[in-house]
């Protein structure tokens, strides 16, 4: 606990108070709820001897305190300027000019992650699916555990708190496994993501002299690889650090770019966030239980808010809406796709699968173009550049950003795909622990020297630190 607080305080000690406010509020609210909540069938522990409820209004009020405190802090620091500026622009548009007073607040690092993490705990206790933990220290470790504090994955109390409470013992396999995850995560971040960031920034920050269709396409594909390596790299590092200390984190990624549809993609990409949105937003809104129309509305609301979770900006909101449109569209055409696949096809199933993966990847990359643009104006210019005629052969030009960028992209993407496939095929590194120690050491050495030899000259912060 002390190490986690020190780790977070090294960035800005003033925001430790916000972290502890969320911790104490949810710890207290959960105790009040648990004291008067009869556990459901999903609860492992037996109900206490009193076994009675608060009234429904009182219980909702207690949960409301948790929601108001956590979402109030998050909204104030992350969204105040965004909504203030948006409201002022709206008034200006109808002839009532207003100059808003913006606060320009520093966004506390990791606030979106730990807010969702503590909220899920309070909601689970409210639902009777979890008993409140009595030890403030144990709960504080759950909230502040430093490997995942600033960029996830978003942990669930039901999975992590039992690990905090039970004794742990040193195991050499945990060191081997955790060390590999850390090295592989650093390799993806420092060697692949940071090197591709140089190419991506040249285009998106206008350093290439303008927007050209070929350059935008290459930068868009490069950003798809960059953000995956950047974010999954951090998740690997966090998982490796936790594994070394005897804790298990859930997987946060599972080959998302091999998805054939948006539903599958969100089961593979940022799994801890997508499952959080499903369990605490989509299903409470009604999920798919109230007809097609209501399902589509719920999907749009969930993904729109999921987009805003990433950042206070119109491009993030549009990205969330775009993801919602993909999910709604797939929901509507899914029955027709199933009927089509039940018929004999002139192509092999493997080829159809490959075409589906390649086709859906284009839609994913369009989403990343929306995500990466700094404004709607920039997005419009880039889409116009891609749609305008441009000579395809400049992709092979040695002196253009596209001609140099495409080989660089392929050079980094190819080994990444092979390594990721090999890891999943071998049951998530289990084979690594069974190979002889010299071979295992060779793998570690290759990754370590790869970091030194091929690491980007200028390191960049993790992309998801800003969320």
Give the catalytic positions in this structure: 310
With beta carbons less than 8 A apart as the criterion, state whether 156 and 278 touch: no
With beta carbons less than 8 A apart as the criterion, state whether 130 and 164 touch: no
With beta carbons less than 8 A apart as the criterion, state whether 146 and 4 touch: yes
Helix (H) or strand (E) holding 292: helix 291-310
**One-character DSSP codes across 342-353:** HS--SS-HHHHH
3 state SS for 83-146: HHHHHHHHHHHCCCCCCCCCCCCCCCCCHHHHHHHHHHHHHHHHHCCCCCCCCHHHHHHHHHCH
CA torsion sign, 192 to 193 to 197 to 203? Answer: positive
The tokens of 304 are what?
Answer: 């729109």
**CA gap 176, 196 in Å, rounded:** 29
Three-class secondary structure of residue 14 per DSSP:
helix
CA torsion sign, 266 to 267 to 268 to 273? Answer: positive
Nearest 5°: CA angle at 325, between 323 and 327? 70
**CA gap 206, 215 in Å, rounded:** 11
**One-character DSSP codes across 28-92:** HHHHHHHHT----TT-SSPPPSS-----HHHHHHHHHHHHHHHHHHHHHHHHHHHHHHHHHHHHH
Q: What is the DSSP letter of 466?
A: G
Nearest 5°: CA angle at 33, between 32 and 36? 90
φ, ψ of residue 150 to 5 degrees: the values are -95, -20
Longest CA–CA span in the chain (Å) reads: 77
**CA gap 369, 321 in Å, rounded:** 14
């Amino acid at each position: 606990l002390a190490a986690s607080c020190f780790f977070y305080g090294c960035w800005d000690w003033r925001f430790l108070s916000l972290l502890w406010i969320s911790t104490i509020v949810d710890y207290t609210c959960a105790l009040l709820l648990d004291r008067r909540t009869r556990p459901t069938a999903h609860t492992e522990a037996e109900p206490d001897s009193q076994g009675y409820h608060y009234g429904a209004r009182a219980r909702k009020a207690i949960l409301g305190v948790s929601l108001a405190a956590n979402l109030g802090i998050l909204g104030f620091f992350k969204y105040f300027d965004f909504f203030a500026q948006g409201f002022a622009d709206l008034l200006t548009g109808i002839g009532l000019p207003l100059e808003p007073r913006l606060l320009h607040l520093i966004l506390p690092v990791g606030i979106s992650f730990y807010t969702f993490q503590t909220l899920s705990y309070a909601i689970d206790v409210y639902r009777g699916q979890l008993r409140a933990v009595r030890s403030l220290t144990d709960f504080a470790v759950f909230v502040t555990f430093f490997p995942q504090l600033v960029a996830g994955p978003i942990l669930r109390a039901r999975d992590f708190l039992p690990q905090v409470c039970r004794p742990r013992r040193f195991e050499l396999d945990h060191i081997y496994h955790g060390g590999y995850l850390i090295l592989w995560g650093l390799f993806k971040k420092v060697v692949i993501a940071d090197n591709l960031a140089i190419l991506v920034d040249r285009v998106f920050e206008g350093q290439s002299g303008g927007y050209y269709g070929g350059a935008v396409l290459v930068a868009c594909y490069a950003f798809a690889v960059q953000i995956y390596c950047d974010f999954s790299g951090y998740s690997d590092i966090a998982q490796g650090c936790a594994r070394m200390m005897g804790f298990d984190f859930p997987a946060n990624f599972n080959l998302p770019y091999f998805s054939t549809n948006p539903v599958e993609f969100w089961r593979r990409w940022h799994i801890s966030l997508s499952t959080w949105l499903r369990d605490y937003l989509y299903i409470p809104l009604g999920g798919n239980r109230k007809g097609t129309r209501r399902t589509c509305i719920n999907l749009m609301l969930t993904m729109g808010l999921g987009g805003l979770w990433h950042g206070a900006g119109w491009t993030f909101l549009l990205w969330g809406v775009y993801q919602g449109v993909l999910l709604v569209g797939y929901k509507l055409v899914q029955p027709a796709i199933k009927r089509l696949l039940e018929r004999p096809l002139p192509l092999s199933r493997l080829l159809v699968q490959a075409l589906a993966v390649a086709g859906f990847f284009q839609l994913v990359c369009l989403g990343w173009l929306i995500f990466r643009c700094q404004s709607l104006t920039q997005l419009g210019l880039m889409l116009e550049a891609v749609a305008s005629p441009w000579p395809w052969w400049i992709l092979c030009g040695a002196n253009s950003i596209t001609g140099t960028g495409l080989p660089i992209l392929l050079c980094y993407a190819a080994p990444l795909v092979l390594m990721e496939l090999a890891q999943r095929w071998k049951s998530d590194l289990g084979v690594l622990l069974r190979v002889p120690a010299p071979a295992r050491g060779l793998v570690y050495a290759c990754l370590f020297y790869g970091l030194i030899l091929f690491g980007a000259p200028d390191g960049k912060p993790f992309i998801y630190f800003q969320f």
